Chains A and B, each alone.
Chain A
Amino acid sequence: MMKSKTILLSLLLIFPLLLQAAPSQKSNSHCLRCHGMQTLSYLDSTTNAIVSLYVDSTQFKHSNHSKLQCTYCHKDAGFLTYPHPKALQAQHLYCTDCHQEKEFARFQFKKREQEFKRSVHHQKLGDKFTCFSCHDPHQFKTTYGEENFKDIVRRDNAICLTCHKTGHQLIGMIGKAPYKDLLSVHSWLPNPQLHWKAVRCIECHTNSPGDLYPHQILPKEQAVKKCEECHSKNSILYSKLYRFKAKQIQQKKGLLQMAVQKYPYAVGMARNQLIDNLSILIFVLMLIGLATHGFLRWLSGRKRS
């Protein structure tokens, strides 16, 4: 009897503690009970923008961060209680808070951070613009290796278009929509929509040859605007995404391979040394042949006369 009373008393004492510790123990599903609702958002009183607090649980499950507990990043004790303290709204998280370990060295987070700080986004918007303005850590995925070329381009460009297509998000950030229609901004480009399917925005709006993930977005005046930069044998595309995808493909020999793999075709870039050289050789031989024929005609004509 005495023993059962002791257990009951112990349970009563521990129960409030169990309740408080619930979020970390019940894992992510506990957080997603609220944050899994698409409509969960609040009105930011300073910017007048609606800030979504929704986390797509399906996307999260497929993301690189899926194995992490929410509280691994959102570690402030305030996240364990509800309602969360308002002060947490001002809290900023950074990729490099976690990504400093050696196991992430290949992603060069430090370099990305430095590039980002030089980018037009950070230069103009300062702390209003963070890693998460573009990269949602709840959806982030690095699965380029096996992906189809067009899917990579579509997905990466979708990041830019989130703000730059309509400008709605930007209104919250800078108070106005800064762009005219994207098509009219790019009207100098022949068939812009086709270009956007073949290359990422950052191929032209960054200048980091040899880098697959350039983060120093340039001011629009410095973007590539010369066709030859891409439409040539040493196309800048070969030093960016195309280089990554065409790792095993030699530029000089791999034309057919690129064709078979349905790479985007670009006049001036899609060149095969063998076809070009053979054609030039045939042309030169033909000129020599015709010149010889002409000379012999002239010589025989002179003899006859």
Chain B
Amino acid sequence: MKKLYLYPIWLRIWHWTNATLFFIQIVTGLSMHFSDPKHPFIPFATARIVHNIAGILLVFMYLDFLIGNLFTWNGKHYVIKFKGLFKRLFLQTRFYVFGIFKGEPHPFESNENSKFNPLQQLTYVFVMFVFMPLLIISGILLLFPQYAPDSIFGIGGIWTAGLLHLLAAYFFTLFMVGHIYLGTTGHSPTSNFKSMLDGYHVILHEDHSKQEQQNEK
């Protein structure tokens, strides 16, 4: 058994703060979107204030993420190696569809050079560099609607922001559920959650690394 320190303290604080804020955003956002005077979940006025404050904090969290990854070695995990990408994506998908049920080892064990498996890396890059900016920009437009352009793509500016924010929010809700479930696919159902608490990733079988190097090629 080998322990690797893959998740530094700033990253773990960022991760759990982000998770809490996202949970708050989903609950308050849903409450406002499906608001009903007869069956209120959270009073609209309260939900609005909480959603706005948590939203602003999330923007700071995103800046923290950008700065953290720009100035530490952690940023390298977000650089996609396109050579052999499809093969690696196939191997990872195959693992989730078949291998995982046969007790096969993870095709891409986390290590100092590559924390994420190919599917995970691709998803995170899209989430952090496409969907997060989309969510933040549309959120800022909704927070300051007086500054929103009168028209975007031929429809009312705020409507575009509102629809994009809603679609991005639905996507993030799906992502969060998928993310939590895949968190249970470590060596034990709780091992990945422990890693994100103490910062250490546990490698049970070191002989897997040879197989991984094979897969990387």
Contact = CB atoms under 8 A, between A and B. Distances in A.
Contacts of A279: 170
Given A263-B156, A268-B44, A231 B35 contact: yes
Contact of B44 (A228, A258, A271): A228
A294 B184 contact: yes
Given A228-B36, A259-B163, A267-B162, A300 B44 contact: no
Contacts of A287: 177
A228 B40 contact: yes
Contacts of A293: 96, 181
B35 A262 contact: no
A262 B102 contact: no
Interface string A269-305: 0110001100100110011001001101100110010
Interface string B146-173: 1000110011101110110011001001
B156 A262 contact: yes
A301 to B, nearest CB: 7
Contacts of A294: 181, 184
Contacts of A296: 101
Given A287-B177, A290-B178, A259 B35 contact: no
B53 interface: no
A227 B48 contact: yes
Contact of A290 (B43, B156, B163, B177): B177
Contact of A268 (B35, B100, B150, B177): B35
- Interface size class of chain A, counting residues whose CB lies under 8 Å from the partner chain: 35 or more
A229 B37 contact: yes
A159 interface: no
Interface string B32-62: 1111110010011100100000000000000
Contact of A283 (B159, B163, B177): B177
B147 to A, nearest CB: 11
Interface string B87-123: 0000000001000111100000000000000000000
A259 B156 contact: yes
B75 interface: no
Contact of B167 (A229, A260, A275): A275
Contacts of A259: 155-156, 159-160, 163
Interface string A195-235: 00000000000000000000000000000001111011110
A270 B103 contact: no
Nearest to B52: A190
Chain A contact residues: helix, strand, loop or mixed: helix
A277 to B, nearest CB: 11
Nearest to B156: A262
Interface string B168-211: 00100110011001001100000000000000000000000000
A256 interface: yes
A268 B160 contact: no
B31 to A, nearest CB: 9
B146 A194 contact: yes
Contacts of B133: none
B8 interface: no
A89 interface: no
A283 B173 contact: yes
B174 A283 contact: yes
A191 interface: yes
A271 B40 CA distance: 17
A290 to B, nearest CB: 5
Given A262-B150, A262-B159, 16 more contacts: A226-B44, A227-B35, A228-B40, A228-B43, A228-B44, A232-B35, A259-B159, A260-B154, A262-B155, A263-B159, A267-B142, A283-B174, A283-B177, A286-B177, A300-B101, A300-B102
6 contacts: A232-B36, A233-B34, A259-B163, A265-B156, A287-B177, A297-B185
Interface of A: 190-191, 193-194, 226-229, 231-234, 256, 258-265, 267-268, 270-271, 275-276, 279, 282-283, 286-287, 290, 293-294, 296-297, 300-301, 304
